[in-house]
Homo-oligomer: A and B are copies of this chain.
Amino acid sequence: MTNIREISQDWKITLIGAGNVGFHLGKKLYESRYEIVQVFSRDKKNSEKLAEQIQASPINSLEKLLPSADLYIISVPDDAIETVIKTLSVNKSLKNKLFVHTSGNTPSRVFKSHFSRYGIFYPLQSFSKQKTPDFKRIPICVDASKEEDLQILKSIASSISENLYQLSDAQRSIVHVAAVFANNFTNYLYQISADILEKENLSFDILKPLIEETACKIKEQNPREVQTGPAIRGDVGSIKKHLAYLQNFPEYASIYRMLTFGVNPDIPGLENET
C-alpha cells in the first residue's frame, strides 16, 4: 500500500468541469499536494478562477486537453457526461489515460465503449460555492475497471477523506436515491415549514435549533427509534387540528397525510382521506 501511495502521489490530475464539485475537489486535491495540469470549463470565468487558485492552466475547449495528466476527473452536469466522453474519445493521445466521473447517478458503462481505464470518484456531499467543505468527513465512493486503478483511486481518495467506500454502479445509484430522501426532500420539508411560518409572519429562525437537533440525533441513534410527533404517538386530535389548519395549503395537507400515514399506517380514519 505504501507503494501505491507513493505512486499515486506523483499522479498528475486534470479537471474537466469547474462547477461546485470540480471547484472544491480541485482545491482539496491541490492542497493535498497533487499537481493539477489543466482545468476545463465551458465558462471562461469558472476555469480561470479555479485554475488560478491551484496553479493549473485554464482551458475552455476540450480539444486543448493535454495528455500530460494521469487522471482526468469529469465533474460536469449528469446529462453532459456522455457528450464529454465522446468528445474526449476522439483524442487518440488520451486513449490510455484513467478517466473518472463524480456523479452519483451515472453508470460507469458510459465510459466502456470509449476507454478501457475508467472509474468513479463520487464525493457524497451537497456542495455550495460559498462554503468550504470539510472533506475529511465526506464519503468518497470509488470504483474502477482495473484493479491497479482502483488502488490508485482509493489512495487518492484517502489522502483527502477518512471516509472511503468502494461501491458498484448498482450500490451507488441506491445510495443516490436514499440521498434524495435524506437531502433534497428533507430540504423541501424545511421549505414547507418556512413557508407556513412566513405566511403568518413568523420567523423560520424559531425552528432552526429543532432542525439541527433532529439531524444530530441520528448520528448516534437509528431514526426509527427516535421518531417522535403526533403520527407515531397516534395522536389523532393533533393530526386533525393540523389538517384543519392546512386546508389553506392543500398540497401541504396531502403531504402531511401521506407522511403521517407512512410513519403510522394504523391511524384510524386517515387512510380513507389520502
Using CB atoms and an 8 Å cutoff, list the residues of chain A in contact with chain B.
78-79, 105, 124-126, 128, 131, 133, 137-139, 141, 163, 165, 167, 171, 173-194, 196-197, 200, 202, 204, 206-219, 222-224, 226-232, 235, 237-238, 241-242, 245-246, 251-252, 254-256, 258-259, 262-263
Separation of A124 and B228 alpha carbons in the complex (Å): 13
CB < 8 Å neighbour of A189 from B78, B182, B224, B252? B182
Please indicate the chain B residues that have their CB under 8 angstroms from the CB of A202 in the complex.
167, 171, 174-175, 178
Please indicate the chain B residues that have their CB under 8 angstroms from the CB of A210 in the complex.
124-126, 179, 182-183
Separation of A212 and B238 alpha carbons in the complex (Å): 29
B237 contacts A184, CB within 8 Å?
A: no
A45, chain B: closest CB distance, angstroms: 21
Please indicate the chain B residues that have their CB under 8 angstroms from the CB of A105 in the complex.
230, 238, 241
- Given A181-B189, A187-B227, answer yes or no on A214-B213 (Cβ-Cβ < 8 Å): no
B237 contacts A79, CB within 8 Å?
A: yes
Please indicate the chain B residues that have their CB under 8 angstroms from the CB of A189 in the complex.
181-182, 185-186, 189
